[in-house]
Amino acid sequence: MDYVNLGKTGLKVSEYCLGADNFGGQTNAEDSLRIMSAAFEGGVNFIDTANSYTDGLSEEQVGRFIKTRRSEVVLATKGKSQVGPNPNDVGVNKKYVMQAIDDSLKRLGTDYVDLYQIHSPDLTTPIEETVEAYNDVVRSGKARYIGVSNFSGAQLAEALWAQDRNGFSKFNSVQPRYNLLYREAERELFPLCEEEGVGAMVYSPQAGGFLLGKHRNFKEESISGGRFSEDFRAANFYKNTYWNEANFDAMEKFLAVAEKYDVTPISLALKWARKHPVVSACIVGARTLTQLQQNLVAWEQDIPNEAIDEATTISDHLWDTAPWKPQMHTGRRTPATRRRATA
């Protein structure tokens, strides 16, 4: 396992970040501990969770695991999601942020997190209030670093500008969705990250397992297990994003490239995402210990640059013909940055 700096910080993180969104939900408590232990033994020192994952149970399970190894783990969590019935039980206003970080620390059983992130933009709270609240979290010692998730390039630029203007702690990381089938981050977000030294920790590098060939029939209706299953909290999101004929066609071509170069689809998908220069880590979840073990083996597999190039060509054709879909802000369209493997 290799370790890299998160953006321009001095924080060393494993390139493989364990996503904990299943823990306490599709994955029970004991299996969650087994998965985290195996990941740690495999060299993973980076774990990402959130206060909303499985209604807080994910943070509790992660807290159980880190209890005897806190200093060895880079712990990341997020806040913003609805956690109660009251008007201020959602968002990133000062009241929510200060309560949310305290609640997360209690569930995690620690007095600080290494990275505290905004889970998604809050368009109802002025950005100046949000960055001040996150600056207070750092100043209070409850977080060592701060970051954002699901921000567009324009939203991150606005936040960094507000931090600069007020002399506040800067966001060190961003967490976008990024894979061969979804490259929105390349338009504006990644160029900004490169300019500002913000590290990307990308989620869904395997497109929720879609790129692995788990589903080969576009007309398939009944799906059991995984992120497209009805018992997964975000199943509709994954279906709406990936379940179309163009993506099925691209997936078949991607699988053919993996077979041609005798590499696993898991390896090719993960290494493709990691190749982008602003990507510090790929967030990879696991429902079972077997999945985790397969992912760790795949991570260590060498991938020929030619395989990366051919996969990129497939993605280029798909992405260049995709409609322009701004994430939150509207603005001038910039051309997609073409990623090519380097020797």
Examine residue 66 and state whether it is found in any structural domain, yes or no: yes
pLDDT of residue 233: 66
Mean of all residue pLDDT scores within the chain: 89
Segment 175-187 shows an average pLDDT of 94
- Weakest mean pLDDT among 123-132, 143-152, 236-245: 236-245
Segment 134-148 shows an average pLDDT of 98
Examine residue 143 and state whether it is found in any structural domain, yes or no: yes
Share of the chain above pLDDT 90, in %: 75
178 in catalytic set:
no
* Residue 114 clears pLDDT 50, i.e. is over it: yes
Segment 44-52 shows an average pLDDT of 97
* Residue 222 clears pLDDT 80, i.e. is over it: no
* Residue 337 clears pLDDT 50, i.e. is over it: no
pLDDT tens, position by position, 237-258: 777 778 888 888 999 999 999 9
If one counts the domains in the chain, the total is: 1
pLDDT tens, position by position, 276-305: 999 999 999 999 999 999 999 999 999 999
Share of the chain above pLDDT 70, in %: 88
pLDDT of residue 308: 95
pLDDT of residue 338: 35
Query: Taking a C-beta distance cutoff of 8 angstroms, is the pair 74, 47 a contact?
Result: yes
Q: How far is CA 328 from CA 80, 121, 210, 235, 325, in A?
A: 16, 9, 25, 21, 9
3-class secondary structure, 50? coil
CATH number at 279 reads 3.20.20.100
* Residue 264 clears pLDDT 70, i.e. is over it: yes
pLDDT of residue 17: 98
* Domain housing 178: 3-209+263-302
Q: Annotated catalytic residue: which of 53, 134, 145, 182? A: 53
pLDDT of residue 294: 94
pLDDT of residue 84: 79
Segment 200-221 shows an average pLDDT of 84
Cβ atoms < 10 Å from Cβ of 88: 11
Examine residue 240 and state whether it is found in any structural domain, yes or no: no
Examine residue 200 and state whether it is found in any structural domain, yes or no: yes
- Weakest mean pLDDT among 100-114, 156-170, 175-189, 319-333: 319-333
pLDDT of residue 319: 77
pLDDT of residue 343: 34
pLDDT tens, position by position, 192-201: 999 999 999 9
pLDDT of residue 268: 97
Examine residue 59 and state whether it is found in any structural domain, yes or no: yes
- Weakest mean pLDDT among 29-38, 113-122, 316-325: 316-325
Examine residue 171 and state whether it is found in any structural domain, yes or no: yes
pLDDT of residue 336: 35
Phi, psi of 275 (to 5 degrees): -65, -25
Examine residue 314 and state whether it is found in any structural domain, yes or no: no
**For 250-258, which contacts have Cβ atoms below 8 Å and span 24 or more sequence positions?**
250/180, 250/181, 250/314, 250/315, 250/317, 250/318, 251/181, 251/210, 251/211, 251/213, 252/216, 253/314, 254/180, 254/211, 254/311, 254/314, 255/213, 257/307, 257/310, 257/311, 257/314, 258/307
* Residue 219 clears pLDDT 80, i.e. is over it: no
pLDDT tens, position by position, 9-26: 999 999 999 999 999 988
Examine residue 258 and state whether it is found in any structural domain, yes or no: no
3-class secondary structure, 173? strand
